[in-house]
Structure 1
Amino acid sequence: MGDGVMQILAKPIQLADQVTKLADDVHSFRAECQELKSKTDRLAALLRQAARAELYERPARRIMDDTEQLLDKALSLIAKCRANGIMKRMFTIIPAGAFRKMLIGLDNSIGNVSWLLRVSAAGDEDGDMHLGLPPIAQNEPILFLIWEQIATLHTGNLDARADAAASLVSLARDKRYGTLIIEEDGVGHLLRLVKEGRVEGQENAARALGLLGRDPESVERMVIAGVCSVFSKVLKESPMKVQAMVAWAVSELAANHPECQDIFAQNNVVRLLVGHLAFETVEEHSKYTIPPKVTSIHTVVMANITADPSMDSSEQPLLRQPIHSQARKNQMHDVVQYTVTGKKNPSDHHSVNVRQPLIVKGREFEDPATKSYMKAMAARALWQLARGNSTICKGITESKALLCFVVLLEKGENDVQYNSAMALMEIARVAEDDAVLRHSAFKPTSPTARSIVDQLLRIIEKADFNDLLVPCITAIGCLSRTFRATEKRIIGPLVRLLDDKEGVVMREAAIALTKFACTDNYLHLDHSKAIINAGGAKHLVQLVYFGEQMVQIAALILLSYIALHVPESEELAIAEVLSVLEWASKQGFVIQDPELEFLLPEAKGRLELYQSRGSAGFH
């Protein structure tokens, strides 16, 4: 909808006036010209009405271009009918069907301009009435349907705008239609509805925006349109249902265009998502000294949540459940009793990069399903925002959101648990290559790091094949360089997974163990011995011989590292690992893996050297 429409109306109005004027001074086909004049008059009246209206510019340009071409042809036809003199009339040929074709064209133009006027005023009075499609839309009906919905978003009442956003949700599921919605200026109107609409309209608009951001180019255009600042505002102020849908949309945009991660962070989206994650997940009163002897997960949470000194009392997050009531319901009883009777420790206050946001009043009264969905979507958004981004991962870990993930991984609903596990996995992946982040967030002495490892191991030891198992295995593997040689809990559960029924579990377990045993790990010797002592050799031999190809490769890489670092191992000789490596070196799949191309011959050579020399000692 724009002011530039006035310029494209001037020429059609001028042409219509010329046709009307010349139609009264014709020398042939007078009856046909009068009928043509009548329809042109009607079209000119609609064009003048359009000049006084606020038109939707995208369809207006197409319709006016078509109308201008038609009126130009009508003017030429009228000019032929004004030919004077016998000779001019004899050599002026007008096909018999020319007037009939022109009258049909004028009817179509009248229908097109009438539709344009209706669609530009959609929602003023007849917002619930379908406007139909104009004649020009015969070849592209979907485009004109999209125009109708976008026009309703611009001028309709709130109910009509909510319905229009729902229609765009259906259309946006198709990639081609989604591209048209963006090209036809739909994003700006959806963003306005997200800010100004009722809950249903806001949800529909946020869902549509999430569906539209399916590729980098689309997300880039949405970022330019201001999606990041609008989403930030919603996450701070809107009803929780809308915030949850916006969090989902953030996750979609970040997943499809990681370059927008930092822009979201600059608009405080990460901070606000962490606040939603922490709401009713952890106790926000951290002003007390916690007894070091209490070791439950919840006491670790209590010990590590930090207050934000930059916020005044009105901004502090509200405590949703009284301490004395919560204490009677869970294992924090002893901690809470100490907390209530203990002394405050002012030195416990620390500032963090991601601070708690303002709490929207009344959100504690939301139904449990909405709260759970909000946490699931906040975790999902943080998962996608953290992916491969050291800066955001650092902000998340400094906000103590890791503790929220730990609690939600234990007590959340299925979606909450899965998204929390994926977020932890992505942060661990970044920490694997970022020594600063690894040392700050996952120090072995850190209660937070210990609680994370406890939760990951609990799931790994349970070994149930569900959505949580694989990301937890991956996370433990990525944290391999944070474990000391004295840490005895990690290797055994991972080795047991090498005998799992699911190929993906065995492969991920082998990859995780490889991160412990590879040369880049400073403690590779200790870890390799631990894998052997846990019975890993026999499992790996079986996987190399009989596993699926992806499992074979992962198992062979791990077995090669172990043979390289502990070639003198009697367990390797008993398991006939040398024979396994010799067999594997003749297989075609080895050539396809660049790591095995150099690792396997070296491991085989080391094993031949030690085991051939001391083979008698193994019998």
Structure 2
Amino acid sequence: MFDKMAERIPRAIDGRDMMGGEENRLRKELTYPIILSERIRGATEEAESFRVDCAEVGKRVDNLAQMLRSIFIICKSTPTIYDRPIRRIASDAAKNLERALTLVRKCRRAGILRRVVTIINLGDFRKAYSLLDASLGDVHWLLSVFNSDPSGAGSGGGASIVLSLPPIASIDPILAWVWSYVAVIQTGGVLAERVEAANSLASLASDNDRNKKIIIEEGGIPPLLKLLNEAASPESQIAAATALANLATDTEKACQIASEHGVPIIVHVLADSPMRVQVCVASLVARMAGNDATSREEFARENAIRPLVSLLCFEVLDDPHLNRGKPTSFHSLVQINKEMAGDRPHLNSFHSEGSGSGRGRENHRKERENESPQVKLNLKVNCAEALWMLARGSIANSRRITETKGLLCLARIIEKEQDELRFNCLMTVMEIASAAESNAELRRSAFKTNSPPAKAVVEQLLKVIQDSSNPPALQIPAIKSIGSLARTFPARETRVIKPLVNQLSHRNTDVAAEAAIALAKFTCPENFLHVEHSKAIIEFDGVPPLMRLLRSTEKVQLYGLILLCYLALHVPVPNSEALQEARALTALELASRSPAAQHPSIRELLPEACRHLELFHAGPHCLRPI
């Protein structure tokens, strides 16, 4: 039906069809209100009653039809037109025109009976005027957004930011602003306006979740990805990456960016762009990977870990002893980027013209060398956070990091840096160690006792634990990392036991509890060397501080009880005097009456430890198993 209607559109619209399914549907949606306006014009000529009012309706409809034709021409001449507001406004205008057509038809000549049944008054026309004026305002706003003369003389030439509100969005101004900003970014035009629009979307997205939802629902993600990938300027890429990062605040929104094929674009820009841009893109990777497991795996498939590690290593592994003859920082980075481009030819479709050229890479190299220390620090902070998020809960990603020079780089940064960068690197190591704890193959490959990167990491972790000036926020991930690697240390490596024993006396109960958890991993039956490690804890005088933990909060008491039970079960008789002197059996008997004894992790362990101590020490009988 719509195709036949299209043939009747006036000469201002030629017969060329718009290509593509979406464009064809948009053409039909714009055709329908234009056809309705022609029908209204014919009905006004046939009106017998309220002829003046019908003529006024006709004038408004003619103006509306003229502007709709201008919109139609703009859509045909702009391949990348942003159609969300056009569809919404055209649909609303069609509804208002249908009501106007119904009203005007009632004014035609009719019999006496129909005139009596059909009652028309001036109030009906006032309502029709109001609806048509609203549609006129909406379409006029559309024309101003797409840079066309509202009189219909212009044909559009891009889009511009319009902060005025169309009647359709008078109740919700955010909707109109989002439409205007997205139209400017998608349709093109002046680069400065596109940057301003992207920054405005970033600001709106940072305000609240409702704004984020509107931006995503109104199709804001694809234009932002397009702007990021075009590499028109560093400012435009920074604005786009910031807006996307502000949108990706939960699983659903991060997944939406990934579903728009955003991950390949993001990885490409991360690998080949100025350092200022890489700072924001690395933050975007961290945000998406931290909020969405699917994005985390997709980043790994697109090989995002290699450029992140390379950027993190920039100016860090310049020591020839550490590099062992490998290419130094920047040359290595450029070489890896070239290899990535060759390994993943499907990214070529996303590359902007000249972005991968030798001249562009040379410019990026000079920019990196001349960047301020603060920009370089920010890049490392964000890259470390991105690696942390990628490694979290992922054995495959943790393995990929260890297969690069990532562990060595992380160890060096933990040794030399401070504050947020050091914290992010410690958290990355903690996630890798946690993955190694649950995967024997990763433990053997990445944390072999003779592996220089593994030795360097363990050395720095122990230094962090031993340094009393470090805050708990740094000591806790270091302690957790050593605990996760408990099964990798041979019996002679008692140097990793003593720092943990010392932390049992830490004034911060969280640190003390983590030390007890880590030591329990050394003494649990799953650890082949649990007897040797238990003896080492006794030799380093770990029982007295452990007994003090039993007088702490219920949570800390539970972890202390687990460790004490393992010691009671695994310490040989000649080494059990420390337990007897500390009255461990009495402490376990008292603990068996506490709420902590009901915890599943200790319900069976506690009675067994009591029975074991009873065999070698005099004292009252232990309570029966619970």
TM-score range, shorter chain: 0.7 to 0.9
Report deviation, 1:253.
0.7
1:70 aligns with one of 81, 96, 102? 96
2:212 aligned residue: 178
Check whether the contact 1:115–1:131 (CA below 8 A) recurs between aligned residues.
Answer: no
Change (3 A) 1:157 1:433: same
Alignment map for 1:251-330 (pairs within 5 Å): 251-283=286-318, 299=321, 301-303=322-324, 306=326, 316=335
Q: Name the amino acid aligned to 1:476.
A: I
1:400 partnered with 2:401: no
Equivalent of 1:187, from 221, 240, 255?
221
Q: How much does 1:392 deviate?
A: 2.0
Residue 113 of structure 1 pairs with residue 119 of structure 2: no
What's the counterpart of residue 331 of structure 1? none
Letter in 2 for 1:245: C
- The secondary structure found in structure 1 opposite 2:365 is coil
Comparing 509-518 and 209-218, the one that deviates more: 209-218
Pairing partner for 1:372 from 356, 374, 377: 377
- Whether the 8 Å contact between 2:497 and 2:519 is mirrored in structure 1 is yes
Are 1:19 and 2:53 matched, yes or no?
A: no
CA contact (8 A) 2:282 2:382 kept: yes
2:76 is equivalent to residue 50 of structure 1: no
Encode CA deviations 1:170-212: one digit per residue, 9 max, x unaligned.
2223222212222221111111111224222211211221222
Cα distance, 1:126 vs structure 2: 9.6
Identity score, percent: 40
Give, as a single letter, the amino acid of the residue that structure 1 aligns with 2:198. Answer: A
CA contact (8 A) 2:33 2:97 kept: yes
Q: Which runs of 5+ in 2 are unaligned?
A: 1-19, 76-80, 149-155, 338-342, 345-355, 622-626
- Please identify, of 362-371 and 219-228, the stretch whose mean Cα deviation from structure 2 is larger: 219-228
How well do the aligned residues superpose, as a CA RMSD in angstroms? 2.7
Deviation at 1:95, TM superposition (A): 3.5
Contact 1:83 1:92 in 2 (8 A): no
Distance in 1 (CA, whole Å) between partners of 2:531 and 2:603 is 22
Contact 1:195-1:202 at 8 Å conserved across structures: yes
1:443–1:482 CA contact under 8 A, matched in 2: yes
Contact 1:460 1:493 in 2 (8 A): yes
Aligned counterparts of 1:16 and 1:65: Cα–Cα separation in 2: 14
Question: How many Å apart are 1:51 and its aligned residue?
Answer: 0.8
- What's the offset of the Cα at 1:270? 0.8
Q: 1:103 aligns with which of 129, 141, 145?
A: 129
Q: Tell me, what secondary structure is at the counterpart of 2:601?
A: helix
**How far 1:120 sits from its partner (Å)?**
3.7
Instruction: Work out whether 1:512 is the aligned partner of 2:545.
Output: no
Q: CA deviation at 1:439?
A: 1.2
Which residue among 147, 166, 171 is the counterpart of 1:139? Answer: 171
Q: Does 1:417 align with 2:422?
A: yes
Is 1:528 the counterpart of 2:534? The answer is yes
Give the counterpart of 1:458 among 441, 446, 463: 463
**Matching residue within 472, 487, 494 for 2:493:** 487
Offset at 1:505?
0.9
Distance 1:88 1:605, change over 3 A: same
CA distance in 1, matches of 2:258, 2:89: 30
Structure 1 unaligned segments of length 5 or more: list them.
286-298, 319-352
- Is 1:576 equivalent to 2:583 in the alignment? yes
Over residues 544-571 of structure 1, what are the superposed CA-to-partner deviations in whole Å (9 max), with x where a residue is unaligned? 12x1222111111111111121274111
- 1:280 Cα deviation (Å)? 0.9
Give the deviation of 1:590 after TM superposition: 2.7
CA distance in 1, matches of 2:619, 2:333: 76
The residue number in structure 2 matching 1:361 is 365
1:312 Cα shift? 10
SS where residue 615 of structure 2 aligns?
A: helix
The Cα offsets for residues 48-105 of structure 1, whole Å up to 9 and x where unpaired, read as: 1111112532122221221111111111100111133444333320133110011011
> 1:491: how far off?
1.3
Q: Is the 8 Å Cα contact of residues 591 and 597 (structure 2) preserved in structure 1?
A: yes
Given that residues 153 and 190 in structure 1 are in contact (C-alpha distance below 8 angstroms), is that contact kept between their aligned partners in structure 2? yes
SS of 2:280's equivalent? helix
Aligned equivalents of 1:441, 1:518: Cα separation in 2: 23
Map of 1:213 onto structure 2: 248
Check whether the contact 1:380–1:419 (CA below 8 A) recurs between aligned residues: yes
TM-score using structure 1 length: 0.85
Counterpart selection for 1:609 from 590, 612, 615: 615
Q: How far did residue 315 of structure 1 move?
A: 5.3
1:539 aligns with 2:545: yes
Cα pair 1:473 1:512 within 8 Å, conserved: yes
> Out of 213, 225, 237, which is 2:272 matched to?
237
Task: For 1:65 and 1:82, locate their aligned partners in 2 and report how far apart those are by CA, in whole Å.
Answer: 27
| Shift in alpha-carbon separation, 1:14–1:26, aligned structure 2, 3 A | same
TM-fit CA distance, 1:603: 1.3
- Counterpart for residue 50 of structure 2: 29
- SS of 1:611's partner is coil
- Contact 2:138/2:168 (CA < 8 Å) preserved in 1? yes
State the alpha-carbon separation in 2 of the partners of residues 453 and 604 from structure 1: 35
Deviation at 1:262, TM superposition (A): 2.8
- Whether the aligned pair in 1 keeps the contact of 2:161 and 2:180 (CA below 8 Å) is no
Conserved 8 A contact 1:567-1:607: no
Partner letter of residue 218 of structure 2?
E
The question of whether the paired residues in 2 share the 8 Å contact of 1:119 and 1:131 is answered with: no
Which residue of 194, 199, 221 corresponds with 1:166?
199
Shift of 1:438: 0.9
Which residues of 2 match residues 460-479 of structure 1 at below 5 A? 460-463=465-468, 464-479=470-485
What is the count of residue pairs matched by the alignment? Answer: 560
Equivalent residues of 1:162, 1:201 under 8 A apart: yes
- SS of match in other structure, 1:485: coil
User: Cα 1:462–1:237, aligned 2, differ >3 Å: closer, same or farther?
Assistant: same
Q: 1:115 deviation in Å?
A: 1.4
Per-residue CA distance 1:9-64 (angstroms, 9 max, x = gap): 11111111111121122111111111111111111111111111125321222212
Shift of 1:420: 0.8
- Partners in 1 of 2:58 and 2:566 — Cα distance? 90
Distance 1:429 1:121, change over 3 A: farther
Q: Could you say what secondary structure the match of 1:490 adopts?
A: helix
1:125: how far off? Answer: 7.6
Q: Secondary structure at the match of 1:501?
A: coil
**How far 1:459 sits from its partner (Å)?**
0.8
Query: 1:307 Cα deviation (Å)?
Result: 5.6
Q: SS of the counterpart of 2:47?
A: coil
- For 1:184, give the aligned amino acid: E
Displacement of 1:317 after TM fit? 8.0
1:325-336 → structure 2 map (5 Å cutoff): none
Partner of 1:586 in structure 2? 593
2:260 counterpart letter in structure 1? A
The 3-state SS of whatever aligns with 2:507 is coil
- Paired with 1:98 and 1:473, the residues of 2 have a C-alpha distance of 77
Cα distance in 1, alignment partners of residues 528 and 326 from structure 2 = 33
Q: Does 1:435 align with 2:440?
A: yes
Superposition deviation, residue 413 in structure 1: 4.1
Instruction: Give 1:376 deviation, angstroms.
Output: 1.1
- Residues 110 and 381 (structure 1), Cα distance of their counterparts in 2 relative to 1, 3 Å cut: same
Quick check: 10-19 or 159-168, which moved more? 159-168
